[in-house]
């Protein structure tokens, strides 16, 4: 009797991704046990069941967008006072904002003129003006904002959410990433890494142009009987292959990915078909404008994904567009022109569909920008005080929390660490940051690690 290796057998059977996936589905429960994954469930009643993180790579300028500083107007072009002078002497005289601010909504929260559409949602938004972080370099600040420490290789916030809660829809990943089709952000795929967790918890990339997931369906359909025979044989081969390799997390993750792809092939591809959205909804996201269309596509995909039970969705921009070392005014305006309408459209659409009450949306970058000028008209990296905003599930809208000093240099009132932000997001998902642990090298690791952290209660509904 002629015998084949698993690889040869799969090759002779055609090796279709869908067939491998469907076969692996039969081993799902054992895969979960061998990977030592938890039985996902919250620690307390959640206010949000999903998160959409609108990550603004490069560090948006807080005093140009969310934290107006009249003192910068008054002292424009003058040296900063000693108490707010740049500790590392990287910038020069103070630089006023080129943008005007207007109170928005019934709450009167000031928003910059370059965020006119987001400003319409002021009464739903909580702005945190007192964020601070631990490093002024992009990479270290990115590791901090995503993974909780200024070191690489840790699981991202999305991976922790997927680990702790799983997906509400077994036909879609718990954690989806929507990168810019024009290129990856700074630090690439490490932004959505699962670190030392099983690879099954890393973010799954969906494309916003062309086929969202490549190689999802076979080119030629096969009869049901043939498909079933292939699945039965591949299930047996997979089981034999895995039994000989216990504890291989990469193998478990690969089979889990195949398995998930099979389920997506059968029942979930409609989540990625934006043509089903009516023209009015597409226009709401700016899909009819070439400037807003790229970001708008990803915002609309995010809504369709959380609508179908995806737990955590991240939207990234290419490179680090908010990194305004030169020509701060023009670059900041350009970033807002690309994102303001799509983000506002996302908030309006979530609210229209009754999804905003259970979906937490976050907006912000890894740090802010300096009040002093870099060169003639730029702003440098700034970790000592910056702004972010949150809206949706469990958030008290129309809120401003914390403050920086008169020049926007340091967070001085109700200061918020990155670990506090992480604790808040996990809390709203029903997770206690102190109890959500993963055993690694003999230590119970946490997203917030050694940092003291607590949810930011004043912004909670």
Span 155-184, pLDDT tens digits: 999 999 999 999 888 888 999 999 999 999
Give dist(CA 240, CA 31) in Å, integer: 13
pLDDT tens column, 343-399:
999 999 999 999 999 999 999 999 999 999 999 999 999 999 999 999 999 999 999
Question: Looking at the domain assignment, is residue 256 inside a domain?
Answer: no
Q: Per the structure block, which two tokens stand in for 299?
A: 């915002």
For the chain, give the mean pLDDT: 87
pTM of the model: 0.86
329 to 294, 340, 368, 459: CA distances (angstroms): 22, 16, 14, 30
Find the domain containing 331 and state its range.
46-197+271-459
**Among residues of the chain, what percentage have pLDDT more than 70?**
82
Per-residue model confidence as pLDDT tens digits over 194-238: 999 998 899 999 987 766 666 566 667 677 677 677 767 877 787
Q: Is residue 262 part of a domain?
A: no
Q: What does the pLDDT average to over 414-436?
A: 97
Tell me what pLDDT residue 23 has: 40
Sign of CA dihedral 241, 243, 245, 249: positive
Query: What pLDDT sits at residue 63?
Result: 98
Whether residue 24 is predicted with pLDDT greater than 70 in this model: the reply is no
Q: What's the CATH number where 100 sits?
A: 3.40.720
Residue 202 domain-assigned (yes or no): no
242 part of a folded domain? no
Residue 240 lies in a domain: no
What's the structural domain count of the chain?
1
């Amino acid at each position: 009797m002629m015998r084949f290796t698993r690889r040869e057998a799969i090759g002779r059977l055609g090796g279709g991704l869908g067939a491998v996936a469907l076969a692996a589905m039969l081993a799902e429960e054992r895969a979960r046990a061998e990977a030592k994954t938890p039985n996902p469930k919250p620690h307390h009643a959640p206010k949000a069941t999903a998160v959409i993180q609108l990550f603004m790579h490069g560090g948006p300028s807080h005093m140009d967008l969310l934290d107006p500083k009249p003192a910068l107007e008054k002292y424009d072009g003058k040296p900063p006072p000693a108490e707010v002078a740049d500790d590392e002497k990287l910038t020069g005289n103070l630089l006023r904002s080129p943008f005007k601010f207007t109170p928005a909504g019934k709450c009167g929260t000031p928003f910059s003129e370059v965020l006119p559409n987001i400003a319409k949602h002021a009464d739903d938004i909580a702005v945190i003006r007192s964020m601070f972080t631990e490093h002024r370099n992009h990479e270290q600040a990115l590791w901090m904002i995503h993974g909780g420490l200024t070191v690489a290789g840790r699981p991202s916030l999305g991976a922790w959410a997927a680990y702790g809660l799983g997906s509400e829809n077994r036909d879609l990943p718990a954690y989806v990433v929507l990168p810019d089709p024009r290129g990856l952000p700074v630090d690439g795929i490490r932004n959505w890494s699962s670190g030392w967790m099983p690879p099954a918890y890393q973010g799954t990339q969906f494309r916003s142009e062309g086929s969202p997931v490549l190689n999802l369906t076979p080119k030629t359909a096969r009869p049901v009987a043939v498909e079933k025979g292939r699945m039965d044989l591949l299930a047996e081969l997979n089981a034999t292959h895995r039994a000989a390799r216990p504890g291989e997390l990469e193998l478990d993750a690969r089979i889990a990915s195949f398995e998930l792809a099979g389920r997506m092939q059968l029942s979930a591809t409609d989540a990625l078909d934006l043509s089903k959205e009516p023209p009015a909804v597409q226009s709401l996201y700016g899909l009819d404008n070439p400037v807003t269309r790229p970001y708008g596509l990803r915002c609309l995909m995010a809504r369709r994904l959380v609508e179908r039970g995806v737990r955590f969705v991240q939207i990234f921009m290419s490179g680090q567009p908010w990194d305004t070392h030169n020509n701060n005014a023009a670059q900041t305006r350009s970033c807002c022109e690309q994102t303001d309408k799509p983000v506002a459209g996302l908030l309006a659409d979530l609210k229209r569909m009754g999804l905003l009450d259970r979906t937490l949306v976050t907006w912000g970058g890894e740090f802010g920008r300096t009040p002093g000028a870099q060169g003639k008209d730029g702003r440098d990296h700034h970790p000592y005080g910056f702004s972010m905003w949150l809206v949706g599930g469990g958030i008290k809208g129309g809120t401003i929390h914390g403050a920086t000093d008169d020049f926007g240099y340091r967070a001085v009132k109700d200061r918020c660490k990155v670990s506090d932000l992480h604790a808040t997001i996990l809390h709203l998902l029903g997770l206690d940051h102190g109890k959500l642990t993963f055993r690694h090298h003999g230590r119970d690791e946490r997203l917030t690690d050694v940092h003291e952290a607590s949810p930011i209660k004043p912004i909670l509904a």
